[in-house]
Amino acid sequence: MHTSTFSENSLAMRAGLATLEVLEREQLGRRAIEVGNRLRQKLTTALGDFEMVKEVRGLGLLMGIEFQAPRQLRLRIPYEAFGAVHGAMLGQILVMRLFRDFGFLTQVCGNNFMVLKVAPPLVVEEEPIDAFAAAVRSVIELANSAGEFWSEALGLARRAFRV
């Protein structure tokens, strides 16, 4: 249930009706399914080589990229070490990198720190979809190289604990 102090007035009701009219007129629901399928396919293809990517899932333009512990020891050790510091460490580094290096605003899922939420606007065009898939792949490649990515995680952990 979602409520708001300011929701029960005629202006809010008119805004809601206008929003519904735009959604129907521009067929944004159908478009979200079509564009979401393309984005999910691009992400699945771009991330399919990485064992720390468990799954890309979702419906329409609301989806998640779920991560899991890698099998390779050289990747699993830092992954589990930083997971022990805080379960959201990997996700937060991914979020920071995607925003700082590529300008994409994402977040981890509120109830599962191992899922990166992907929720572009309903009117997203093809070019940003391609750029996002490439950006996520780039950040995951960095995580697979251990060095720089995990050094940044160490710095974040130090700042968090003031070590």
For the CA atoms of 79, 80, 85, 87, the dihedral, rounded to the nearest 10 degrees, stands at 80
Instruction: Say what the pLDDT of residue 59 is.
Output: 95
Per-residue pLDDT tens digits of the chain, which is 163 residues long: 556 666 677 888 898 899 999 999 999 999 999 999 999 999 999 999 999 999 999 999 999 999 998 888 878 887 787 777 777 778 888 998 999 999 999 999 878 888 999 999 999 999 999 999 999 999 999 888 766 666 776 676 677 666 5
Asked if residues 61 and 39 have their Cβ atoms less than 8 Å apart, the reply is yes
Instruction: Say what the pLDDT of residue 83 is.
Output: 76
The closest of 8, 6, 72, 63 to 37, measured between CA atoms, is 63
Which structural domains are found in the chain, ordered by start? 36-161 (3.90.1150.10)
- Sign, CA dihedral 104-156-137-29, equals negative
Instruction: Say what the pLDDT of residue 5 is.
Output: 61
Instruction: Say what the pLDDT of residue 3 is.
Output: 61
Instruction: Say what the pLDDT of residue 77 is.
Output: 80
Asked if residues 39 and 132 have their Cβ atoms less than 8 Å apart, the reply is yes
Instruction: Say what the pLDDT of residue 118 is.
Output: 94
